[in-house]
Amino acid sequence: MRPHFTYGIFLDNTSKSYFDMGKEEAERYYFAADGGDLDYYFIAGETMRDILGAYTGLTGRTALPQKWTLGYHQSRWGYITEDDIMDVAEKMRQCRIPCDSIHFDIDYMDAFKVFTWNRKNYKDPKKTLQKLTEMGYKPVTIIDPGVKKEDGYDVYEEGIKNGYFAFSAENELYVNEVWPGDAVFPSFTNPKVRSWWADKQKFLIDMGVRGVWNDMNEPASFKGPLPDDVQFADEDDTVILHKDAHNIYGHCMAMATKDGWLKYDGRRPFIITRAAYAGTQRYALVWTGDNQSIWAHLQMAIPQLCNLGLSGFSYAGTDVGGFGADTTKELLARWVQVGCLSPLFRNHSAQGTRKQEPWQFDKELLEIYRKYVELRYHLLPYIYDCFFESEQTGLPIMRPLMLNFEKDAETYEINDEFMVGEWLLAAPVVTQGTTMRLVYLPEGAMWYDFWTGEKYKGGQYITKKAPLDTMPLFVRAGAVLPLYPLMQYVGEKEVEDLTLAVYSGIGNYIHYQDDGESFAYKKGGYNAYVFSQNNGRLQIKDAVKNYEKPYKGFYVKICRDGVTALSETPGEYLNAE
């Protein structure tokens, strides 16, 4: 960024590459690659938004996900048996923690063989998934790229017969070790292999699975990294060496997975990937892999997710509570406060660590946890709108302050606050033992404290009390926030009346409404409402009316300085045009 212009550079090279952003010499940035073409783009514009729009115009944008995927996800490595999974499912409902998905880590498989189900621990997996579905859960399963080397295992045998796996430099089947022991690696860089892998997804879909979590797809291996000269089949059946394919291995696996879900499920695919390349956002979302339950990793979550957003990955998340090591009550309470405003909201932890489902500590923690998961569910329509917009503009959901307030240089170094879309500013506590923090409110706007309604002028630092149950959260004046009534999962209730929280000021807001899962919106199958307000006077206009279930009415909540009032009855539908 420079005072009157901004630029971006995108190096499109999949070989081993290097970036030095002023480390060796403060005055110099450089990038380089060991092989491949010197293929890079220079993107010019006036603002960071221009650059991001152009960059995602080139590499692709995060598509609107199914709405349930924006709910809360519970995971752990591992829930071993069908009883373990059902216990979590039931406990979640008993504790009134809204939850849309439970994730199945590697233990659901038979001997860690992909596209199999462990019949010892699951008598009838289809029935278990059916039960979960009836309770409102959408099951998600992990899939790794490493295929167990085992005679008689159909996935292995099919791949061998067709030459779908990587070869060593000596032209022998390349074997390394992953979860199942000796394993082989599909050449996802080849379209035939991708289409085979896409067909494999049918096994999960027929079982009742609603999304796939692609892991270990760097590819990771336990007996040292894959050597540079391991040979994969390329697009045109020629050879591509590991050193050139490594950076797109996860990308190509995600591509194959998405194709399978489009073909056999037909809804908007929910695919998580650990490894990605520029543009993978077209196929999958990412999570930040194996963090640790330490404060430094909670702090890191904010810049990591903001940077992913600035790189086209609007849909991303961290393991809430931390994956490795034992979490603590305080850390988990602070992490759920960041997690509830992260695009992907999933609690996940490793085998052997202290359990970290919301009820694993005490009543206080459970209540704090519930408060923030409930906040997430109230905000679902707002977050969904951010995604709708992201597909059109490339702008992320979770943003560094500077993306929204580029003229305010004070925002440039702030990495412990973030914006959610245009209207919400979160200032979570990310340090141990802290119960008060400084919050910078950007210049050029007025701000309301989300919890108390107090009003502040932008362009100043304020101190905010932040006891363990409070994450300082602010709403930009002029906002009209759409809110859902409390639900335990998406689809539990039909939302007939939408609540609008009007934060007195001047602003326009576009709200989208559709079926939340199909591709009809791409052909205009949605409703768009424009909410305009002028210092608390609200005008509602339905700009697009194609979805058959428009809202019946609106509840309006008006927030002026320190005063909030929720109307008792749904407001009349005001088609002010």
Taking the least distance from each CB to ligand GLC, the nearer of 293 and 504 is 293
Phi and psi (nearest 5°) for 364?
A: -60, -45
Q: Does 106 bind ligand GLC (CB under 6 A)?
A: yes
Q: Does 286 bind ligand GLC (CB under 6 A)?
A: no
Computed on alpha carbons and rounded to an integer, the radius of gyration of the chain in Å comes to 24
Give least dist CB 291 to ligand GLC, A: 10
Give least dist CB 113 to ligand GLC, A: 14
Q: Does 218 bind ligand GLC (CB under 6 A)?
A: no
Binding mask 301-340 for ligand GLC (x = CB under 6 A): ----------------------------------------
Q: Which of 290, 330, 422, 497 is catalytic?
A: 290
Give least dist CB 396 to ligand GLC, A: 23
Taking the least distance from each CB to ligand GLC, the nearer of 199 and 290 is 290
Taking the least distance from each CB to ligand GLC, the nearer of 69 and 349 is 349
Q: Does 357 bind ligand GLC (CB under 6 A)?
A: no
Taking the least distance from each CB to ligand GLC, the nearer of 353 and 533 is 353
- Geometric angle at alpha carbon 550, from 270 and 571, rounded to 5°: 120
Q: Of 45, 208, 289, 550, which one interacts with ligand GLC (CB under 6 A)?
A: 289
Residue with tokens 């019946």: 552
Report the distance separating Cα 466 and Cα 435, nearest Å. 5
Q: Does 142 bind ligand GLC (CB under 6 A)?
A: yes
Give least dist CB 350 to ligand GLC, A: 6
Taking the least distance from each CB to ligand GLC, the nearer of 106 and 276 is 106
* Residues 252-270 as b or e (16 or more Cβ within 10 Å = b): bbbbbbbbbbeeebebbbb
Helix, strand, coil proportions of the chain in percent (round to 5)?
A: 30, 25, 45
Taking the least distance from each CB to ligand GLC, the nearer of 142 and 439 is 142
* Cβ contact 489:136 at 8 Å: yes
Alpha-carbon separation of residue 286 from 102, 135, 254, 275 (angstroms) = 17, 27, 10, 8
Report the distance separating Cα 341 and Cα 72, nearest Å. 11
Q: Does 105 bind ligand GLC (CB under 6 A)?
A: yes
Taking the least distance from each CB to ligand GLC, the nearer of 114 and 477 is 114
Look up 157 and say whether it is catalytic: no
Q: Of 82, 100, 215, 374, which one interacts with ligand GLC (CB under 6 A)?
A: 215
Among the listed residues 576, 529, 533, 540, the one whose alpha carbon sits nearest the alpha carbon of residue 558: 533
Q: Which of 177, 218, 229, 469 is catalytic?
A: 218
Q: Which of 82, 107, 144, 215 is catalytic?
A: 215
C-beta nearest to ligand GLC: residue:
77
Report the distance separating Cα 80 and Cα 352, nearest Å. 13
Report the distance separating Cα 519 and Cα 531, nearest Å. 25
Look up 215 and say whether it is catalytic: yes
Residues paired with residue 292 on neighbouring β-strands, in sequence order: 324
Q: Does 177 bind ligand GLC (CB under 6 A)?
A: no
Binding footprint of ligand GLC, residue count (CB under 6 A): 9
Give least dist CB 310 to ligand GLC, A: 23
Calculate the CA 495 to chain-centre distance: 24
Q: Of 290, 410, 443, 454, which one interacts with ligand GLC (CB under 6 A)?
A: 290
Does residue 219 have a cis bond before it (omega within 30 degrees)?
yes
Taking the least distance from each CB to ligand GLC, the nearer of 142 and 233 is 142
Taking the least distance from each CB to ligand GLC, the nearer of 114 and 487 is 114
Binding mask 73-92 for ligand GLC (x = CB under 6 A): ----x---------------
Helix ranges, 123-190 (H): 125-134, 154-162
CB < 8 Å & 24+ apart, contacts of 161-166: 162/192, 162/196, 163/233, 164/190, 164/192, 164/193, 164/196, 164/233, 166/226, 166/230, 166/231, 166/232, 166/242
Give least dist CB 144 to ligand GLC, A: 7
* Cβ contact 223:150 at 8 Å: no
Give least dist CB 224 to ligand GLC, A: 17
Residues paired with residue 101 on neighbouring β-strands, in sequence order: 73
Give least dist CB 215 to ligand GLC, A: 5
Give least dist CB 105 to ligand GLC, A: 5
Residues lying near ligand GLC in the complex (CB under 6 A) are found at: 77, 105-106, 142, 215, 274, 289-290, 348
Give me the active site residues, please. Answer: 215, 218, 290
